Amino acid sequence: MKKVEVIIIGSGTAGLNALSQVKKYTESYLLINGGFFGTTCARVGCMPSKVIIQVADDFHRKHIFKRFGIKGADNIRIDNNEVMEYTRDIRDILVDRVKSSSTDNMPTDKLIKGYANFINHNTIEVNGEQIEATKIIIATGSTPIMPVDFKRFGDKVISTDDLFELEKLPKTMAVIGLGAIGLELGQALNRVGVKITGFDFLHNIGGITDESINKTAIDLISKEFDMHLGQNASLSACDGGIKVHSGDNEIIVEKVLLSIGRKPNLDKSNLENIGVKLDKKGLPVYNINTMQIEDKPIFLCGDASGDRTLLHEASDEGKIAGYNACAKKITKFKRKTHIGIVFTSPNIISVGLGLNQLNKSQTATAEMPMGPVSRALVMGENKGLIRIYADKKTGLLKGAQIIAARAENLAHLLVWAIEKKMTVNEMLQMPFYHPVIEEALQGALYNLKSKLNLKINTPILELPIL
């Protein structure tokens, strides 16, 4: 039987990052990939969605042209089919870049195309051949959830795996599932002319847990398309389309985009053969700081783990799995502070801990509406809300949720501040230029400061003594 030191199953973001570590320590490895090459992100995830969103946001700006003294907005039209073709062109460039710098040029004795199944904890089978490995890394990625109830409607119910392949966009579409992906794609598709109706069984959209941010997000985005929240949506066949039912609401649309989440690609791997307990979702128990499954010589990383399904986390997880698969001793690594961005307009973001994760009596909260923020006013985007949370006793920033223009950038400033264990007072001593969106955050920090009873060792809050 063929034997290697490390097998990596899956050549997506996690698998390739695992490979980057493994290569440092051994030449005895195999990368096995079933299905498409290229990462989920580049093929059907972050990248093609951002292309449609960018086009949609540019097209949407025509609504402000009149106010700005720009003429001709009424005659601006969009060709959906061209948008989709452009999206695929950019996507292909980005997918090609991933592949050409990774799997395209791998020697055939290192890369196997096929689906791997576990025979036991250190043996897999691929294309009918059994291969033994000292360590195995599972980085098989994820697939959009598509229950059989929905699958039976054929190409009338699509996922993000199908969306970007559409040659022609429908005139009407229901988006079921208004998490990050459903919400940002729903808004973008609506902006480029697909009449969208949104559904979610939760009352919260975009993964937001702060009720004020959630309410503001619903208020702002439902001005663009209708949303039905808090009830399950079901489908039935009908002439000329497909009918979506949700509570008392019924609507007929051409297509349904189902965006209710992604499930780890573990069901065809015969995981039960490795001799570990699987939870009710069929997932093994692993350590998020080592990526090791129980005490087995097997590591789980990326979307396949079912947690933190974000590219930058998949990169970290791949590196941890790759390193620990080669190291003599398993090492625990510090994972990153949470940052989540919904690329709607305005952006919706969350960093650090949510109010549902914080002790209410120990937490001070404050907010800043975007209305009076002068730069946002100038941009014509002074809508939204900032909410930030700090520890009452220490003043340490703990988390934030925001709906605002450029919140994706504020999110980085905030998550770095949390990583650096900054207090509200320290943050107020940082430079804030003028006029910038960061000043809205400054406003929120002043409001939060006024709710904290912190000792300040300078007579001027913003300026430390030299």
Determine, following the binding rule CB under 8 A, whether residue 46 of this chain makes contact with a copy of itself: yes
User: Residues 89 to 148: which contact a copy of itself by CB under 8 A?
Assistant: 90, 93-94, 97
Shortest gap between Cβ of 227 and a copy of itself (angstroms)?
A: 25
User: Residues 76 to 95: which contact a copy of itself by CB under 8 A?
Assistant: 76-83, 85-86, 90, 93-94
The neighbouring-strand residues paired with 284 are: 278
Tokens, residue 242: 């497909």
Shortest gap between Cβ of 230 and a copy of itself (angstroms)?
A: 29
Distances (CA, A) of 255 to 111, 288, 415: 38, 38, 38
User: Residues 374 to 393: which contact a copy of itself by CB under 8 A?
Assistant: 374-375, 377-380
Angle at 161 between CA 159 and CA 166, to 5 degrees: 85
Cα–Cα dist 160/172, whole Å: 16
Shortest gap between Cβ of 152 and a copy of itself (angstroms)?
A: 33
Query: Judged by CB, which is closer to a copy of itself: 251, or 397?
Result: 397
Determine, following the binding rule CB under 8 A, whether residue 457 of this chain makes contact with a copy of itself: no
Among residues 78, 312, 71, the alpha carbon closest in space to that of 188 is found at 78
Query: Judged by CB, which is closer to a copy of itself: 121, or 412?
Result: 412
Cα–Cα dist 404/399, whole Å: 16
Shortest gap between Cβ of 64 and a copy of itself (angstroms)?
A: 7
Quick one: how far is CA 176 from the chain centroid? 17
User: Residues 183 to 212: which contact a copy of itself by CB under 8 A?
Assistant: none
Q: Which residue in the set 252, 276, 330, 430 belongs to the binding site for a copy of itself (CB under 8 A)? A: 430
Residue pair 155/162 in contact by the 8 Å Cβ criterion: yes
Query: Judged by CB, which is closer to a copy of itself: 274, or 422?
Result: 422
User: Residues 298 to 327: which contact a copy of itself by CB under 8 A?
Assistant: 310-312, 315-316, 319-320, 323, 327
With the C-alpha atoms ordered 68, 71, 73, 79, is the resulting torsion angle positive or negative? negative
Determine, following the binding rule CB under 8 A, whether residue 460 of this chain makes contact with a copy of itself: yes
Determine, following the binding rule CB under 8 A, whether residue 69 of this chain makes contact with a copy of itself: yes
Where does this chain touch a copy of itself (CB under 8 A) — which range of 204-212, 271-279, 328-336, 396-404? 328-336
Query: Judged by CB, which is closer to a copy of itself: 213, or 218?
Result: 213
Tokens, residue 216: 């503001």
Where does this chain touch a copy of itself (CB under 8 A) — which range of 39-47, 132-140, 180-188, 218-226? 39-47
> Taking CB under 8 A as the rule, which mask of x and - marks residues 390-429 in contact with a copy of itself?
----------------x-xx-xxx-xxx-xx-x------x
Where does this chain touch a copy of itself (CB under 8 A) — which range of 28-36, 195-203, 225-233, 369-377? 369-377
Amino acid identity, position 444? A
Cα–Cα dist 72/74, whole Å: 5
Cα–Cα dist 376/194, whole Å: 28
Where does this chain touch a copy of itself (CB under 8 A) — which range of 54-62, 238-246, 249-257, 394-402? 54-62
The neighbouring-strand residues paired with 249 are: 246
Which DSSP string corresponds to 178-203?
-SHHHHHHHHHHHHTT-EEEEEESSS
Shortest gap between Cβ of 352 and a copy of itself (angstroms)?
A: 11
Determine, following the binding rule CB under 8 A, whether residue 285 of this chain makes contact with a copy of itself: no
Strand order in the sheet with 339-342: 339-342, 347-352, 397-404, 385-391, 363-369
Cα–Cα dist 50/279, whole Å: 34
